[in-house]
């Protein structure tokens, strides 16, 4: 039976306008650096949830459980005059992972890769033509296409922290936290032969990341010292 619980739920709905953010320069510039870009209008939405509860409360034994979860997304609605780049597309989250999307391909007879002349890719769909779900087209006609795979920042996050208190001063605790939903290029997959023949990114996947901490600690109790006069006595 819970002896005290607090549950907090917060919806999120904001519009950011005129924000300046940094976009890395393309390698063709010949030197590293960043270029300031105007996001124009960015729509953010989602929710946050937090829980803090004492499940068991006894003189020499207590069990507490706290945790949180959140889901936050965003979408670029206007660019404010900035040129589109890999990180800036109307209808995409910011920042995002984009690229051409391979649908089918025929292996070369020698097994060293795929035939670039017959490989088929997603032609793009959605209001701006930069989302997946379009007609199949030849990959060599959309080599520079930037369709959305997903956000590069995890939209989902969570924490869970149970705590066991013994004899009112010894605590055993566990902290688990994680994130989910971010996309990235996995360069560790064995796909070098394919990449030599196809102008597409083959190794995108969604990833779950997290960490766990555990330990023992003593609570700092304000016990009266010998000879100390307590207030109210």
Q: Residue 207 to residues 14, 71, 107, 114, 151: CA-CA distances in angstroms?
A: 27, 15, 28, 27, 11
Distance CA 25, CA 44 (A): 26
Q: Is 50 exposed, middle or buried (0-12, 13-18, 19+ CB in 10 A)?
A: middle
pLDDT in the model for residue 3: 64
Contacts (Cβ under 8 Å, ≥6 apart) of 13:
44, 45
Distance CA 185, CA 98 (A): 10
Which pTM was predicted? 0.72
- Residue 145 in tokens: 């296409």
Domains of the chain, residue spans: 4-218
- 196 — phi, psi (to 5°)? -70, -20
pLDDT in the model for residue 192: 38
Distance CA 69, CA 216 (A): 25
pLDDT in the model for residue 210: 57
Give, for all 233 residues of the chain, the pLDDT tens digit. Answer: 456 788 888 999 999 988 888 777 766 777 778 877 778 899 999 999 999 999 999 989 999 999 999 999 999 998 877 667 767 889 999 888 888 888 988 888 887 778 888 989 999 999 889 999 999 999 888 878 889 988 988 899 999 999 999 988 888 889 888 888 888 765 444 333 343 344 334 333 444 555 666 666 665 544 444 444 444 44
Whether the Cβ atoms of residue 92 and residue 75 lie closer than 8 Å to each other: yes
pLDDT in the model for residue 194: 40
pLDDT in the model for residue 1: 43
């Amino acid at each position: 039976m819970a002896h005290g619980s607090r549950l907090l739920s917060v919806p999120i709905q904001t519009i950011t306008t005129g924000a300046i953010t940094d976009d890395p320069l393309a390698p063709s510039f010949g030197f590293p650096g960043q270029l300031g870009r105007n996001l124009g209008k960015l729509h953010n939405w989602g929710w946050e949830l937090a829980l803090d509860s004492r499940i068991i409360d006894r003189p020499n034994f207590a069990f507490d459980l706290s945790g949180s979860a959140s889901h936050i997304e965003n979408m670029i609605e206007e660019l404010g005059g900035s040129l589109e780049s890999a990180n800036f597309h109307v209808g995409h989250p910011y920042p995002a992972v984009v690229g051409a999307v391979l649908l089918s391909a025929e292996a070369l007879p020698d097994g060293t890769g795929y035939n670039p002349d017959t490989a088929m890719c997603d032609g793009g769909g959605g209001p701006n033509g930069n989302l997946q779900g379009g007609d199949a087209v030849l990959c060599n006609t959309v080599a520079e296409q930037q369709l959305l795979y997903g956000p590069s920042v995890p939209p989902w996050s969570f924490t869970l922290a149970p705590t066991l208190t013994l004899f009112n001063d010894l605590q055993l605790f566990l902290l688990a936290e994680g994130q989910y939903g971010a996309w990235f290029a996995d360069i560790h997959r064995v796909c070098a032969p394919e990449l030599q023949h196809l102008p597409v990114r083959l190794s995108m996947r969604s990833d779950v990341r997290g960490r766990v901490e555990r330990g023992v600690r003593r609570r700092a109790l304000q016990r009266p010292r010998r000879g100390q006069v307590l207030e109210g006595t």
